[in-house]
Amino acid sequence: MRCANGLQQQRICKRNMGHFETTDYVDMVRYLCGQDPCLDPDRVAIFGWSYGGYATLLAMAQAPEVFRIGLAGAPVGDWRLYDTGYTERYLGLLHETPTEGDQGERRISEAYRKSCIAHFAKGFPDELNRVYITHGLLDENVHFTHTCHIINAMIEEGKPYNVLVYPGERHGLRKSKKCRLHHEAILIKTIAKALLN
Query: What DSSP line would sit under 129-181, residue for residue?
Result: TSEEEEEETT-SSS-THHHHHHHHHHHHTT---EEEEETT--TTS-S-HHHHH
Domain boundaries, the chain: 7-196
Distance CA 30, CA 45 (A): 13
93-105 pLDDT, tens per residue? 777 665 555 555 5
- How far, in Å, CA of 111 to CA of 124, rounded? 21
Asked if 119 is an active-site residue, the reply is no
78, 139, 143, 146: the active-site residue: 139
- Band of residue 147 on the pLDDT scale cut at 50, 70, 90: very high
Q: Which of 19, 24, 119, 171 is catalytic?
A: 171
| Architecture of the domain made up of 7-196 | 3-Layer(aba) Sandwich (3.40)
**Picking from 12-16, 135-139, 172-176, which range would have the lowest pLDDT averaged per residue?**
12-16
Write out pLDDT tens, residues 41-62: 999 999 999 999 999 999 999 9
Say what the pTM is: 0.87
Q: Which of 50, 135, 146, 149 is catalytic?
A: 50
